[in-house]
């Protein structure tokens, strides 16, 4: 039996652009790890390379984000026309199974660990069902990824990733986890064993990325106690790693020090806003804005590169705040922003339900618009065009070479921890990537106002498909 696992991708500019980066979808390796040993499995990541449309597999698993749905529907329809059986899974498929069922042979609406093996068994018996919703088997059931299938020649900067936990104990109103995922973590010996015996390493750049990996968890710090124990177990491995976690962990100096000693050299945290009203509107009370500067200084001085994400367009934002945001950032002694997006009301979130009840979702929105770079709602204090004006200006202002120079200059000498400086140098291009989403000057960045990618539009017309409308 031949199986393909495909992570699809569409670029925020709505042009057919690839964006190989350190962080890639690891769902193909995860699903491949759940396939039986007798299956011949291939994995594809469209962020790195085009999907070969002339190949044949018996079974094709698709993993996608909301905004990739229209494109994934096209690929699935083309494959089904050629006799292949297709499967969709993930958050969008779980939330809209009735819609998704029209374009795929089967839909997985729950965790992959029990459902992928059950689906494959049914497929082999010729008894495939339309929907698979077996309940979670718990975090201990997470299987080792198929690291051996990662092709580091297709993406020279990518790193192998591993999950230690799933979910998050916080309840930010815009987050797709809120109300859907309980926080749970894997037994630490299982995680350590997987890193020691299964993981593969990127040997590019003369070994600069050797023995380096990332934790894929939404929030590795969901339980400070677990994180402490995990770091203690990682100490003897002498590996280098990165992760995403919440601001509250960064305030705990002894834990940050332990993470650095255990090999952590990179942390991403969603700062989201420097505006207290917006933080309140997002229910993100764990972020303490008065402590941002101290947290940045402390984290770097322990030898960890800290990167922040910001979003605009939330209900606390005003013209004055967004206008002065570059000044506020300049006031921070250490520039550390690597992601800028527009707050997105994903349909399964409390934020979406609030906007829906208040009639503030923009008309004409399709799933393609839910990409985190397109305004899908009317904010309380701003006109949609004002949000977009601020967003595009900020992307152009923040994602610049002088800001990379400032990033390097202010932090290069802050720590002598092994491989701190190389982690810092690798983080520089992230700053430049802030401007990537706004490279298409013809885009309006307001839901319902931009057409989909030309290829997807043409294919949907030829195949008789309609974009999914969300309101």
Contacts with ligand SF4 by CB under 6 A lie at 168, 170-172, 175, 177-178, 218-219, 246, 270
Residue placing its CB nearer to ligand SF4 in the complex, 6 or 168: 168
Q: Tokens 């707050």 identify what position? A: 343
* Nearest distance in Å: CB 72, ligand SF4: 24
Residue placing its CB nearer to ligand SF4 in the complex, 47 or 284: 284
Q: At 276, list the tokens.
A: 């207290």
* Nearest distance in Å: CB 143, ligand SF4: 23
273 near 311, Cβ under 8 Å? yes
Q: Is 260 exposed, middle or buried (0-12, 13-18, 19+ CB in 10 A)?
A: buried
Residues 6+ apart with CB under 8 A from 37: none
* Nearest distance in Å: CB 172, ligand SF4: 3
Tell me the residue length of the chain. Answer: 471
Residue placing its CB nearer to ligand SF4 in the complex, 12 or 270: 270
225/227 Cα distance (integer angstroms):
5
* Nearest distance in Å: CB 448, ligand SF4: 26
Q: What is the DSSP string of 334-390?
A: S--EEEEEE----TTSHHHHHHHHTT-BPTT-BGGG-SSSSB-B--SSS-HHHHHHH
324/308 Cα distance (integer angstroms):
18
Q: At 437, list the tokens.
A: 């989403």
* Nearest distance in Å: CB 27, ligand SF4: 17
Residue placing its CB nearer to ligand SF4 in the complex, 43 or 344: 344
Residue 334, Cβ neighbours under 10 Å: how many?
A: 17
Q: At 86, list the tokens.
A: 């297709």
* Nearest distance in Å: CB 350, ligand SF4: 11
Residue placing its CB nearer to ligand SF4 in the complex, 178 or 403: 178
* Nearest distance in Å: CB 355, ligand SF4: 17
350 near 178, Cβ under 8 Å? yes
Residue 10, Cβ neighbours under 10 Å: how many?
A: 25
Residue placing its CB nearer to ligand SF4 in the complex, 130 or 180: 180
Residue placing its CB nearer to ligand SF4 in the complex, 314 or 403: 314
Q: Is 211 left (phi over 0), alpha (psi -120 to 50) or beta?
A: left
- Name the packing angle between helices 253-261 and 224-234 (round to 10°): 30
Q: How far apart are the first and last CA of the chain?
A: 41
* Nearest distance in Å: CB 316, ligand SF4: 16
* Nearest distance in Å: CB 274, ligand SF4: 16
Residue placing its CB nearer to ligand SF4 in the complex, 182 or 203: 182
- Name the packing angle between helices 319-331 and 384-398 (round to 10°): 20
Residue placing its CB nearer to ligand SF4 in the complex, 155 or 178: 178
């Amino acid at each position: 039996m031949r199986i393909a696992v495909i992570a699809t991708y569409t670029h925020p500019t709505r042009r057919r652009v690839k964006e190989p980066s350190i962080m890639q979808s690891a769902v193909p390796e995860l699903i491949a790890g759940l396939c039986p040993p007798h299956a011949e499995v291939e994995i594809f990541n469209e962020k790195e390379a085009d999907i070969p449309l002339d190949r044949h597999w018996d079974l094709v698993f698709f993993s996608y984000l909301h905004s990739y749905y229209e494109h994934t529907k096209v690929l699935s329809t083309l494959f089904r026309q050629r006799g292949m059986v297709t499967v969709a899974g993930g958050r969008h498929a779980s939330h809209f199974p009735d819609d998704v069922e029209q374009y795929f042979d089967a839909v997985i609406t729950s965790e992959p660990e029990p459902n992928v093996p059950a689906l494959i068994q049914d497929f082999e018996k010729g008894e495939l069902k339309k929907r698979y919703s077996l309940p979670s088997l718990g975090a201990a059931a997470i299987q080792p990824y198929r690291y051996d299938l990662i092709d580091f020649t297709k993406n020279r900067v990518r790193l192998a990733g591993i999950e230690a936990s799933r979910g998050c104990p916080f309840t930010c109103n815009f987050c797709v986890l809120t109300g859907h995922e309980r926080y749970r973590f894997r037994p630490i010996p299982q995680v350590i064993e997987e890193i020691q015996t299964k993981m593969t390493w990127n040997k590019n750049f003369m070994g600069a990325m050797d023995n380096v990996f990332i934790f894929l968890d939404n929030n590795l710090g969901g339980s400070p106690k677990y994180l402490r124990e995990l770091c203690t177990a990682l100490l003897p491995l002498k590996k280098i790693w990165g992760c995403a976690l919440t601001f509250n962990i960064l305030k705990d100096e002894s834990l940050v020090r332990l993470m650095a000693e255990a090999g952590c050299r990179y942390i991403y945290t969603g700062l989201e806003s420097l505006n207290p009203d917006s933080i309140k509107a997002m229910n993100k009370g764990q972020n303490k804005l008065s402590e941002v500067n101290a947290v940045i200084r402390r984290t770097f001085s322990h030898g960890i590169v800290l990167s922040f994400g910001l979003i605009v367009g939330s209900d606390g934002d005003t013209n004055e705040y967004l206008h002065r945001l570059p000044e506020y950032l300049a006031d921070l002694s250490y520039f550390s922003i690597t992601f800028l997006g527009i707050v997105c009301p994903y349909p399964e979130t409390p934020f979406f339900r609030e906007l829906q009840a208040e009639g503030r979702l923009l008309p004409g929105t399709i799933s393609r618009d839910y990409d985190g770079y397109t305004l899908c709602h009317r904010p309380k204090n701003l006109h949609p065009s004002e949000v977009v004006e601020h967003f595009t200006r900020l992307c152009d202002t923040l994602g610049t070479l002088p800001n990379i120079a400032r990033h390097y200059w202010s932090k290069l000498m802050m720590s002598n921890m092994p491989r701190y400086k190389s982690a810092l140098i690798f983080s520089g291009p992230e700053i430049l990537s802030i401007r990537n989403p706004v490279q298409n000057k013809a885009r309006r960045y307001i839901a319902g106002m931009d057409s989909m990618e030309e290829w997807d539009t043409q294919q949907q017309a030829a195949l008789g498909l309609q974009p999914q409308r969300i309101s």
